[in-house]
């Protein structure tokens, strides 16, 4: 037999085998579906028999119906589970949101209270600041007053009853204070310039405390006093400041040294400095003199040390301020910002 005939024979055998296999599988599938259909058409009778004379209740249900019912019940259970999980998650998220809102509300209430506190403090601060500005530079008092009241610009962009509306009062106050601060810049810069100019004058006026970095005690003041040696009344022309021997004494204003001398029966070692505007100062009973006559000294320069030379009962500084030839109470000029650091008290130290 030729190879071609053998090939065709083999091909027919394979096709026949495949057809038989397909027919077998199809017949099996049809038979299986038939059995399933037969089983699905089967019916069950469900009976409810009461424990009385009442009629028995029964009904029939097919396998198809029972299967559909079970599928529907399972579907309902799955949907219920999904919905309950979603609702639980939503409740948790809602609780967290409510908690965040409560926290933000508390923070907002605290902020409102702080704004009210700031507003009350500002109402006390603004008039005091206005008085200060007026005292230093009366020319800008009207401008500062306009800034304090908010000027005419605030009502232009806010409703007439804006400040009375619920929740808007704090915002209104903040806008007013912001506008006030903005309008206060120019007046305050003018005050600053005036203070700078005045400080330049104060450098030449004896307002500095004569003990450098110390305070000490004012034991004898200016005016009528009982002399420690003669025990009679006399006019004390300065103030006596008691402290330890050797403490640095500084120039209370810039000026030129008129005298750096020694008076054994009175001032002991002393210095007299001439300042601008007719002022002069005297520093007496020094232990050491560190400047010379004719020398120029700046405010705050160390010119000597505290001692007990001359006619004294103990170490102290005798300090005088003169305007022309007239002695003036030094307390009128001394820097007394920290009055708790020194005490005026009677003492026998002279």
Q: Which of 169, 202, 235 is the last residue of a domain?
A: 202
- What is the token pair recorded at 164? 């009375």
Q: Are 234 and 339 within one domain?
A: yes
Q: Which of 167, 202, 237 is the last residue of a domain?
A: 202
Q: Which of 178, 202, 226 is the last residue of a domain?
A: 202
Instruction: Kindly state the average pLDDT of the residues 157-169.
Output: 51
Tallying the residues shown for the chain, one arrives at 350
Q: Are 235 and 287 within one domain?
A: yes
Lowest mean per-residue pLDDT among 16-25, 83-92, 212-221, 281-290: 83-92
Q: What is the pLDDT of residue 7?
A: 75
Q: Are 223 and 286 within one domain?
A: yes
Q: What is the pLDDT of residue 147?
A: 52
Q: Are 72 and 196 within one domain?
A: yes
**In this model, does residue 64 exceed pLDDT 80?**
no
Q: Are 196 and 267 within one domain?
A: no
> Is 16 within a domain?
no
Torsion sign over Cα 169, 174, 179, 185: positive
> Is 14 within a domain?
no
pLDDT higher for 300 or 123?
300
Lowest mean per-residue pLDDT among 158-162, 220-224, 328-332: 158-162
Q: Are 121 and 245 within one domain?
A: no
309 φψ region: left (φ > 0), alpha (ψ -120 to 50), beta (else): beta
How many CA atoms lie less than 13 Å away from 175 in the CB half-sphere? 15
pLDDT higher for 130 or 306?
306
pLDDT higher for 38 or 206?
206
Q: Are 146 and 263 within one domain?
A: no
**In this model, does residue 99 exceed pLDDT 70?**
yes
Lowest mean per-residue pLDDT among 115-124, 202-211, 232-241, 285-294: 115-124
> Is 34 within a domain?
no
**In this model, does residue 73 exceed pLDDT 80?**
yes
Whether 294 and 257 have beta carbons less than 8 Å apart is answered as yes
Lowest mean per-residue pLDDT among 102-116, 140-154, 256-270: 140-154
> Is 36 within a domain?
no
Q: For residue 192, what are the domain limits?
A: 42-202
Distance CA 296, CA 303 (A): 11
Q: Are 194 and 59 within one domain?
A: yes
Q: Are 192 and 226 within one domain?
A: no
Place of tokens 């001394």: 334
> Is 17 within a domain?
no
Instruction: Kindly state the average pLDDT of the residues 258-281.
Output: 94
Lowest mean per-residue pLDDT among 31-35, 220-224, 274-278, 334-338: 334-338
Distance CA 260, CA 295 (A): 10
Instruction: Kindly state the average pLDDT of the residues 87-109.
Output: 81
Place of tokens 């040390």: 305
CATH number at residue 262: 2.70.70.10
Q: Are 50 and 193 within one domain?
A: yes
The pLDDT tens digits of the residues spanning 294-308 come to 999 999 999 999 999
Instruction: Kindly state the average pLDDT of the residues 304-333.
Output: 92
Q: How confident is the model at residue 342 (pLDDT cuts 50, 70, 90)?
A: very low
Q: What is the pLDDT of residue 211?
A: 94
Give how many domains the chain has, as a whole number. 2
Instruction: Kindly state the average pLDDT of the residues 127-137.
Output: 74
Whether 309 and 268 have beta carbons less than 8 Å apart is answered as yes
> Is 263 within a domain?
yes
Q: Are 301 and 277 within one domain?
A: yes
Torsion sign over Cα 83, 84, 90, 94: positive
3-state secondary structure labels for all residues of the chain: CCHHHHHHHHHHHHHHHHHHHHHHHHHHHHHHHHHHHHHHHCEEEEEECCCCCCCCEEEEEEHHHHHHHHHHHHHHHHHHHHHHHHHHHHHHHHHHHHHHHHHHHHHHHHHHHHHHHHHHHHHHHHHHHHHHHHHHCHHHHHHHHHHHCCCCCHHHCCCCCHHHCCCCHHHHHHHHHHHHHHHHHHHHHHHHHHHHHHHHHHCCCCCCCCECCCCCEEEECCEEEECCCCCCEEEECCEEEECCCCCEEECCCCEEEEEEEEECCCCEEEEEEECHHHEEEEEEEEEEECCCCCCEECCCCEEEEEECCCCCCCCEEEEEEEECCEEECHHHCCCCCCHHHCEECCCCCC
pTM: 0.49
> Is 350 within a domain?
no
- Report the range out of 17-31, 50-64, 175-189, 211-225 with the highest average pLDDT: 211-225
Q: Are 54 and 163 within one domain?
A: yes
Q: How confident is the model at residue 238 (pLDDT cuts 50, 70, 90)?
A: very high
pLDDT higher for 209 or 46?
209
Instruction: Kindly state the average pLDDT of the residues 185-213.
Output: 82
> Is 20 within a domain?
no
Distance CA 320, CA 312 (A): 16
Distance CA 218, CA 225 (A): 13
């Amino acid at each position: 037999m030729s190879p071609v005939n053998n090939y065709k024979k083999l091909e027919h055998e394979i096709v026949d085998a495949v057809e038989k296999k397909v027919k077998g599988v199809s017949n099996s599938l049809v038979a299986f579906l038939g059995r399933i259909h037969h089983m699905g058409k089967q019916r069950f009778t469900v009976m409810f028999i009461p424990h009385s004379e009442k009629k028995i209740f029964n009904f029939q249900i097919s396998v198809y119906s029972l299967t559909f019912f079970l599928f529907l019940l399972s579907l309902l259970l799955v949907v219920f589970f999904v919905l309950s999980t979603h609702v639980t998650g939503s409740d948790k998220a809602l609780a967290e949101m409510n908690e965040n809102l409560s926290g933000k509300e508390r923070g907002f209430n605290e902020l409102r209270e702080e704004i009210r506190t700031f507003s009350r403090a500002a109402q006390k601060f603004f008039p005091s600041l206005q008085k200060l500005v007026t005292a230093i530079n009366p020319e800008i008092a009207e401008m500062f007053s306009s800034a304090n009241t908010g000027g005419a610009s605030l009502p232009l962009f806010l409703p007439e009853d804006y400040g009375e509306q619920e929740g808007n009062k704090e915002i209104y106050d903040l806008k007013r204070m912001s506008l006030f601060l903005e309008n206060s810049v120019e007046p305050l810069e003018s005050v600053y310039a005036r203070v700078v100019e005045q400080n330049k004058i104060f450098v030449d006026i004896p307002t500095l405390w004569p003990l450098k970095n110390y305070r000490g005690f004012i034991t004898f003041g200016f005016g009528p006093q009982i002399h420690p040696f003669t025990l009679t009344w006399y006019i004390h022309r300065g103030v006596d400041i008691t402290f330890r021997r050797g403490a640095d004494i500084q120039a209370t204003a810039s000026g030129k040294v008129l005298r750096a001398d020694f008076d054994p029966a009175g001032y002991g070692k002393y210095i007299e400095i001439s300042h601008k505007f007719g002022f002069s100062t005297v520093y007496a009973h020094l232990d050491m003199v560190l400047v010379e006559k004719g020398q120029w000294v700046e405010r705050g320069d160390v010119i000597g040390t505290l001692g007990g030379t001359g006619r004294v009962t103990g170490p102290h500084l005798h300090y005088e301020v003169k305007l022309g030839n007239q002695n003036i109470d030094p307390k009128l000029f001394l820097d007394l910002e920290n009055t708790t650091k020194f005490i005026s008290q009677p003492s026998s130290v002279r």
